[in-house]
Amino acid sequence: MSNSIEIPFSTTLLVRDTCLCLHVQRAARALARLFDDALRPAGLTNGQFSLMMSLNRPEPPPMGPVAALLAMDQTTLTAALKPLQRKGWVEVMENPKDRRRRLLRLTAEGKAVLAKALPIWEATHAAIDAALPDGDATRLRQDLQALSGMSGEMPKPSVRRSPHRERAMGE
Amino acid sequence: MSNSIEIPFSTTLLVRDTCLCLHVQRAARALARLFDDALRPAGLTNGQFSLMMSLNRPEPPPMGPVAALLAMDQTTLTAALKPLQRKGWVEVMENPKDRRRRLLRLTAEGKAVLAKALPIWEATHAAIDAALPDGDATRLRQDLQALSGMSGEMPKPSVRRSPHRERAMGE
DNA sequence: TCTATTTATATTGATATCAATGTATTTGGT
DNA sequence: ACCAAATACATTGATATCAATATAAATAGA
């Protein structure tokens, strides 16, 4: 009876040391905790901060582009909006031009919360930025961006329809 | 009444483009989806793969070091083990030497599942590695490691007891 | 116009994540 | 030996995450 379905320990060490997915998940958890801690006095988590900040635009955006910007599933965005709506920080409105769409808008109170959180973000971000070797931050962002874009480039079924990628946030 | 609690759109764009936390969360979600998709035929998620791989050692480890290795909260590990125990892939045993501790061990079936998943990981990882600019992967891992370590370096209360950091996995 | 398809979002169910808290065990000081 | 503190893990409650699926509205083709 082959007990030979054994992965050698050396392989485990290789995976531990090289897996980019593991490295990114670890950093994601650590940074999330760091920002969550820092932002707690403002009443926000890191994800809520990023989401609300992405809603701070001249024109209230629909959900699709916001989910794409945050690289999250659309159903995740629906769920993430719930607590923010309950707290009265975000408004979800119908778009009369297309009644399937929802328009997401920060309330005045939401903007105030975000304004209170901004200096905390600045200080926290400056601290982690300083902890990286000089010049690494920029390239790190580029690499992370490349990784974020990989979901679309990796053909999953043998045939792949063009994803119709909408612009997330114009500048 | 001051409506002046307004963050300018330019600041929103700055945060979107520079926030390392946001960049890492996005990459984490994208890579998680990518590996989850790839590993689905093996019946594993990316997190379950990393967790089970970290249990593939000569000696079954207790929970604390495993949670530290994965940079996750200990309560998260407790929860993450549940489905793996249900499927009979991981065994959680008491340590007679210290009855507070649990020892985590892959079952034979768990090892078989992991062995089936390994070539999928290799192929997927090779693909994302190739998508990065030459030589970036190594530095990227270093930077991510630096970020993962930041939770401990950032003093939260004014006084910080030394965390007694245990070695996660010896080599 | 009618209708099949596509698009945009919501719901459900399972797992992941962490803070706050609880319990059991060990350790250290006396 | 005793007891207070520290250590290791579990439980609860809230939110985050995504797959599968459902619903509603707009679009496109006949």
Which chain C nucleotides are covered by protein, judged by CB under 7 A?
7-20, 24-27
Domain containing residue A110: 20-135
A103-143: per-residue pLDDT in tens?
999 999 999 999 999 999 999 999 999 989 998 999 999 99
Candidates A10, A23, A156, partner chain B, best to mutate (most B CBs within 10 A): A23
Instruction: Indicate whether B120 belongs to any domain.
Output: yes
Helix axes of B20-39 and A108-131: crossing angle, nearest 10 degrees: 90
pLDDT tens readout for residues B144-155: 999 998 865 444
Instruction: Evaluate if residue A98 carries a pLDDT over 90.
Output: yes
* 8 Å CB contact between A147 and A23: no
For residue A30, the domain's CATH number is: 1.10.10.10
Q: How far apart, in whole angstroms, are the C-alpha atoms of residue A59 and residue A72? A: 21
pLDDT of residue A15 exceeding 80, the answer is yes
Answer whether residue A8 shows pLDDT above 50: yes
Asked if A54 and A66 count as a contact pair (C-beta separation under 8 A), the reply is yes
Tokens found for residue B102: 């649990």
Contact residues on chain B for A144, CB-CB shorter than 8 A = 23-24, 26-27
What is the helix (H) or strand (E) element at residue B94, kind and residue range? strand B90-95
The two three-digit tokens of residue A109, written as one number: 């109170």
pLDDT at A4: 58
DSSP assignment string, A1-30: --------HHHHHHHHHH-HHHHHHHHHHH
| pLDDT tens-digit series, residues A64-97 | 999 999 999 999 999 999 999 999 999 999 999 9
B62 domain residue, yes or no:
yes
B155: in domain: no
- Flag whether pLDDT at B4 surpasses 70: no
The whole-chain average pLDDT of chain B stands at 88
**pLDDT of A34 over the 70 cut:** yes
Distance (Å, whole) CA B168 – CA B68: 6
Whole-angstrom distance, CA of residue A106 vs CA of residue A84: 10
Q: Is residue B11 part of a domain?
A: no
Report the alpha-carbon distance of residue A34 to residue A7 in Å, rounded. 35
Q: Are A9 and A16 in contact (CB under 8 A)?
A: no
Q: What is the mean pLDDT of residues A20-34?
A: 97
Rg (Cα) of chain B, in Å, rounded?
Answer: 20
Please give the DSSP secondary-structure letter assigned to residue B146: H
CA dist., res. B149 & res. B30, Å (int): 22
Cβ of B99 near strand C (under 7 Å)? The reply is yes
Asked if strand C contacts B80 at the CB level, meaning under 7 A, the answer is yes
In DSSP terms, which residues pair with A98 in a beta bridge?
A95
Rounded to an integer, the average pLDDT of B159-165 is: 34
For D20, which residue's CA is nearest its C1'? Answer: A75
For residue A95, being part of any structural domain is answered with yes
Note the pLDDT of residue B79. 97
pLDDT of residue A159: 29
Residue with tokens 């109170």: A109
pLDDT band at B162 (very low <50, low <70, confident <90, very high): very low
Instruction: Kindly list the residues from chain A whose CB atom is less than 8 angstroms away from the CB atom of residue B22.
Output: 46, 50, 70
Minimal C-alpha gap between A79 and chain B (Å): 16
Q: At what angle do helices B46-54 and B74-86 cross, to 10 degrees?
A: 100
pLDDT at B13: 95
**Which pLDDT value is given to residue A92?**
96
Is the pLDDT confidence value at B123 over 70?
Answer: yes
State the pTM of this model: 0.88
Is B56–A147 a contact, with Cβ atoms under 8 angstroms apart?
A: no
Q: Is the pLDDT of residue A63 over 80?
A: yes
Domain membership flag for residue A77: yes
Q: Which of B144, B160, B165, B169 to mutate to test the interface with A (most CBs of A within 10 A)?
A: B144
A47 touches strand C (CB under 7 A): no
The string of pLDDT tens digits covering residues B17-67 is: 999 999 999 999 999 999 999 999 999 999 999 999 999 999 999 999 999
Number of domains present in the structure of chain A: 1
Q: From the Cβ of A101, is strand C under 7 Å away? A: yes
- The predicted-structure confidence for B89-100, as pLDDT tens digits, reads as follows 999 999 999 999
Spatial separation of the C-alpha atoms in residues A3 and B2, rounded to whole Å: 73
Task: Give yes or no for residue B166 having a pLDDT over 70.
Answer: no
- Residue B158 in any domain: the answer is no
| CB-CB contact of B70 with B51 (8 Å) | yes
Task: Write the secondary structure of chain B as one string of H (helix), E (strand) and C (coil).
Answer: CCCCCCCCHHHHHHHHHHCHHHHHHHHHHHHHHHHHHHHHHHCCCHHHHHHHHHCCCCCCCCHHHHHHHCCCCHHHHHHHHHHHHHCCCEEEEEECCEEEEEEEEECHHHHHHHHHHHHHHHHHHHHHHHHCCCCHHHHHHHHHHHHHCHHHHCCCCCCCCCCCCCCCCCC
Residue A157 confidence (pLDDT): 34
Please report whether residue A47 resides in a domain.
Answer: yes
